[in-house]
Chain A
Amino acid sequence: MWKLITQRLRTPRTTLSVEELLADKGLNEGTPDQTLVQSWNRLRRTAFGGSVHIRHVDTGSCNACEWELTALLNPVYDIQRLGIDFVASPRHADVLVVTGGLTRNLAEALQLTYEATAHPKAVLAIGACACGTGLIGRTYAQQGDVALSVPVLASVSGCPPQPADIIRGLIEVATKLEEARVKHGHGTPAI
C-alpha cells in the first residue's frame, strides 16, 4: 500500500488541458483550433453541460479504433473530467460511437442497439472502415459503411483516428445535438 501511495505522489501531472487536447496532433505540436475551443466553452453552459454519454458498438473493426477509444480514458486525455464517458447500456447513451465496416454477423446487433438508444440520439462513425473509406471495403462478409444501416450524424476518418480527433468529433456531435434540442425541444427525434 505504501508503494502505491508513493508512486502516486511521484507521478507528475500528465493530463492535457482542453486547449492542449484540441491542438494535439499526437506529435506534441500544433495550435488550438479556436472555433473548437469556443464551441467547447459554449457547450459547457448548455443543457447537456457539455456532457456526452457514449455507447460504443464495434461492427467489425480491427481493434485499433477500440484502443484509441480506450486511450481517451487514460490519464493523458482523461475525457471523464470533461463530462464525456462510456456507458454500459444504450439506454443511458446520447451518442452511439460505431467502429468497423458493418459485418454481416453484426448487422442485427447494430440495428438492435440503435433501436434501444434513447432519443435524442446521434451516431458518430469512427475510423475509415465505418466511414465507408476502409481498405477492405465491401465484401461478402461486410457492407463497408455503417451509414447503410443507421443515420450517421458525424464521422471521424483516419486509420485509426488519433484520440484528439475523436474528441473533436465528439464535440461536433454534442454541438449538433444541442442545436437540435434548442430547435425541437427534448422530443427531438433521431438526428
Chain B
Amino acid sequence: MRTETINPTQVGMTCAGYVEDGFRLQTMVAADERATKGVYTLRYLFFNDDERQGREVYTELSPDNPTFTSATPLVPAANWYEREAYDLLGLVPVGHPDPRPLILHGDRLAEVYPLRKDFPVDGVLPAVERTMTELHLPEGMFEVPVGPIHAGVIEPGHFRFQMRGETVHALSTTLFYTHRGLEKRAENMSLSDGLALVEQTCGVCSLSHALSYAQAVESLAQVAVPEQARYIRVVWAEMERLYNHIGDVGNICAGIGFSFGTMQAGRLKEYLQRLQARLTGHRYLRGVLKVGGVQQSLTADQSHQLMHGVQAIMAEFAEVADAILSHETACDRFRMTGVLSESAVRSWGAVGPTARASGVARDARLQQAHAAYADLFPDTIPTFVQGDVMARLLQRIEETQISAKLIAQAISHLTTIRETSATTDLYTPLPSVEPYATGIGVSESPRGENVHFVMAGAHGQIERLRIRSASYANWPAVPEAVPGNLIADFPLINKSFELCYACCDR
C-alpha cells in the first residue's frame, strides 16, 4: 500500500482529494508513538473498491501542539474517527463541525486521555456527569427520548426522535454506552493471546473479528496460512453469515410483530448454532481460529455432518422465506420503509448487506479477497437498488444461498486437499516479528467489512490495536434512513440494519 506523508494542517485537503478520486475512508488510526518517535501519529486508510487498492495518509503531531486540520467538513465519514482521537488521545481536530465527546460520555474531561501510554489501563475516570439542555423546537414539534435501556433484550443506545405528529423529522443517536476499553486492554498482550480478547469484541461476529485480527498479525509477521486452514476459515466464516442472516430475517419479522417469521427463523438459527456447538464446541465459533491458521481441523466425518445439516436447514429456510414473502401485509410494511440512498452509502462509507441493498456492490470477499475467497467467490454479487427494509431482507435471503454454496465448495476443496496434500498443518507458528511492524486485516462479517489495524511492540506484543467494525461504519448512516418514516417503524428499520452496538463501542 502506498503511503503519503503529510503535514497535520493538510489532512482535510488530502483526504478530500482521495475521496474525489473514488476512494472511501476505511479506517483511521490514532496512536501515541511518543516513546519511539516522539510524536502522536494519525493514519487515514483509504480503499478504492473499483481499482481494488488501498492508500495510507500518514501524519505526525507534535506533543506540544497535538492539533490537526479536521477532514470531517469535506469527508463526513471521518466524523467519528476524529472525535474518537480527541476523546481517547487528546488530538484536537481543528475545524471539526461537532467536537462533542463521543466515547467518554458527559462533559469533556480535562487532560484525561486513556489511550495515551502514560495512562494506566485501569486508571480511574470520574463518574459521568450528564447535563440536560433545554430544547428549542419549532411550534408543533416534540422530542421522544428512547434508551439506553430498552424494553426488549437489546443492547444499549440512546435515541432522540424529533417528531412532527407520528412522523420522525430527525433522529440523533448516542452510542458508545458499551465502551469497555478493549483496545487499551489489548496493549502489551502477546500477539497470539490477543485473538481471544478480540473475539470478545462482538458476540455474533466473533469469528469475523478473529479472522480480521489474525490476518492483520499474519500480514505484519509475513506468515503464510496453510492451504487447508484457508478453506476451513471460509467454512466457518460462511457459517457465521448463515446463522446471522437467518436470524436477522427473523428479527426483521419481529420488528413488525410477525411471529411466524420470528419463530421459524429462530428455530433454524438455533439448529445452526447447535450444529456449530457440536462440531467446534462453541455456539458462537469462539476458539476456532488461531493466528497463523486454525485451531481445529474439519474431518471428513465432521464435513459430512455439516453439509447434511446445512442442506436440511437451507431447504427449510427456502420454504420459510417463501411463506414470509407471500404475506402481503408483512411485505407492505417492508416496502418503501427506511430507504437508505446510494449517495448516503457512498458519503458515509457504509459496508456489508446495508451497502449492497442500496446498490453499492461492496464486499470484502470480492474486492479484498482473503482466506480462500479468491478461489471460491463468484465474480459478481447480488445487489438491490431500492435501499428499503425489503431490499435488505431480500439481500440477506439471497446471500444465504451464496453462503451455502461456498460452504459446499470449500468442503469439496478440503476433501481434495486431504487426499492430495502431504502436509496436514493447521497453522504456521508465529515467528519473531519486526519491532513496530504494522498490519491490516480485513474480513467480511455478516454485517460487512471488519478492519483491524495491529502494530507490534518491541517484544512481539500488541502496541496498538484499532478495531473498525462494520457497525462503526454503518451506524452514522442509520439516521439518514429514518426521517419521513413513522416512529412505530423505527424498530423495523433498526432491525433491518441489524447493527451491533458492542463491536461499534468496543
Contacts and interface: CB of A to CB of B under 8 A. Distances in A.
A103 B500 contact: no
Contacts of A67: 203-204, 247, 284
B206 A139 contact: no
A4 interface: yes
A178 to B, nearest CB: 24
Contacts of B104: 104-105, 141
Contacts of A26: 274, 277, 283
A104 B128 contact: yes
A141 B181 contact: yes
B204 A137 contact: no
Contacts of B182: 136, 139
Interface stretch (A32-40, A70-78, A168-176, A181-189): A70-78
A43 interface: no
Interface string B103-123: 011000000001000011111
Interface in B313-368: 319-320, 322-323, 326-327
A102 B10 CA distance: 40
A10 to B, nearest CB: 8
Interface stretch (B194-202, B406-414, B480-488): B194-202
B153 A70 contact: yes
| Chain A CB within 10 A, most for which of B178, B200, B277, B319 | B178
Interface in A42-85: 56-58, 60-71, 73-77
Contact of B502 (A14, A27, A61): A61
B184 A7 contact: no
Contacts of A103: 177-180
Residues of B in contact with A, size category:
35 or more
B156 A106 contact: yes
A8 B125 CA distance: 54
Contacts of A159: 200, 286
B128 A140 contact: no
B259 to A, nearest CB: 10
A74 to B, nearest CB: 3
Contacts of B200: 62, 134-136, 159
A88 B119 contact: no
Contact of A28 (B196, B278, B501): B278
B23 to A, nearest CB: 31
Contact of B151 (A28, A64, A89, A140): A89
A60 B180 contact: yes
A10 B267 CA distance: 14
B49 interface: no
A162 B128 contact: no
Contacts of B179: 60, 103-105, 141
A91 to B, nearest CB: 12
A154 B411 CA distance: 44
Nearest to A97: B153
Contacts of B120: 140
B266 to A, nearest CB: 3
B170 interface: no
Nearest to B122: A138
B140 interface: no
A75 B274 contact: no
Contact of A66 (B105, B153, B197): B153
Contact of B501 (A11, A63, A160): A63
A150 interface: no
Given A26-B283, A60-B177, A140 B153 contact: no
A65 B156 CA distance: 13
B266 A73 contact: yes
A173 to B, nearest CB: 17
B138 interface: no
Interface string B165-192: 0000000000011111110110000000
Given A63-B500, A139-B184, A140-B123, A109 B153 contact: no
Nearest to A88: B151
Contact of B267 (A14, A88, A137, A138): A14
B266 A63 contact: no
Nearest to B155: A58
A66 B155 contact: yes
Interface in A88-105: 88-89, 100-101, 103-105
17 contacts: A4-B260, A7-B260, A58-B156, A60-B177, A63-B155, A63-B500, A63-B502, A71-B270, A74-B267, A104-B127, A105-B104, A105-B128, A108-B127, A108-B128, A139-B185, A140-B121, A141-B180
4 closest residue pairs by CB, A with B: A64-B203, A139-B181, A74-B266, A88-B151
